[in-house]
Amino acid sequence: MGLEGKVAVVTGGARGIGAAVARGLAERGARVVIADLDGAEEAARTLRDAGFEAAGLRVDVSSEADTAAMAAAAEDAFGGLDILVNNAGIYSSLTPKPFAEIDPAEWRRVMEVNTLGIFLCCRAALAPMTRRGGGRIVTISSGVAFKGNPFMAHYVASKGAVVSLTRALATELGPRGILVNSVAPGFTLSDGVLGNPTLVAGVKEPSLRNRVLARDMLPEDLVGAVCFFAGPDSAFITGQTLVVDGGAYYH
């Protein structure tokens, strides 16, 4: 299955894209630690009930202490850390608005979670991955980083930073055997997005109209790309961003 014996951490893994990715990694043989603010243990229990090895942990990715505990928990539970999927982020709770109307506190919080959070998670994973002789880091960015979508300036800026951080980390961590790549989704009907009718009303129709594959994008559509970067078939690929959006943007 490709990932037998590997240990993976998925941030924001309790629902939506993260939950789909966690299950996909488990189905390919990985033991999975689900890290999330809410519902992590319940999501892990669902995987265990399906016959997989999984653990859940409450983690705020913008907390240095929480991310350090997350890496330690992977080692304690399963003996190491090989794969980190940086999925946690703020998007579905945002209301589109002109950049001049974005509250600075909201801007800071988006940056704390979407950029500082990835930095802290990667830093926490560095020592455990080095002890294993290498590893894989997959960051979830977004197609908006390339398209410059309006009315979400803080989110767009944060995801542009994720793409750049992916490249910088790939260069720095390559000599340690740690590969760093990114997957950039299009507008995805995750649980959180479906819970924000204003966001769905403003973004869904334009997204469908601009896709070559004119259907809704679901969390499951991202699983293959993430698992590819986490697995053996991408052993000579690092610093790359793969756009998965049904053909809305050719990168």
**What pLDDT score was predicted for residue 251?**
83
Q: Which amino acid is at 139?
A: T
Q: How many Å apart are CA 109 and CA 154, to the nearest integer? A: 9
Which residues have C-beta within 8 Å of that of residue 31, sequence separation ≥ 6? 6, 7, 8, 52, 53, 54, 77, 78
Residues 91, 155, 249, 250: which is the catalytic one?
A: 155
Q: State residue 74 phi and psi, 5-degree precision.
A: -65, -40
Place of tokens 């630690």: 33
For the chain, state the CA radius of gyration: 17
Between CA 38 and CA 56 the distance in angstroms is 10
155 in active site:
yes
The domain limits of the chain are 7-243
Residue written as token pair 């016959």: 51
Whether 18 and 12 have beta carbons less than 8 Å apart is answered as: yes
Distance CA 7, CA 82 (A): 5
- Could you tell me where the beta strands, DSSP code E, fall in the chain? 7-11, 31-36, 54-58, 83-86, 135-140, 178-185, 241-244
Burial 25-47 (b: 16+ CB within 10 A, else e): bbbbebbbbbbbeebbbebbebb
Distance between CA atoms of residues 88 and 12, nearest Å: 4
Task: List per-residue pLDDT tens for the chain, 251 residues long.
Answer: 699 999 999 999 999 999 999 999 999 999 999 999 999 999 999 999 999 999 999 999 999 999 999 999 999 999 999 999 999 999 999 999 999 999 999 999 999 999 999 999 999 999 999 999 999 999 999 999 999 999 999 999 999 999 999 999 999 999 999 999 999 999 999 989 989 998 888 898 999 999 999 899 999 999 999 999 999 999 999 999 999 999 999 98
The CATH architecture that domain 7-243 belongs to is 3-Layer(aba) Sandwich (3.40)
C-alpha 9/C-alpha 23 separation (Å) is 12
The separation between CA 77 and the C-alpha centre of its own chain, rounded to angstroms, equals: 21
Asked if 203 and 210 touch (Cβ cutoff 8 Å), the reply is no
Give the model's pLDDT for residue 70: 98
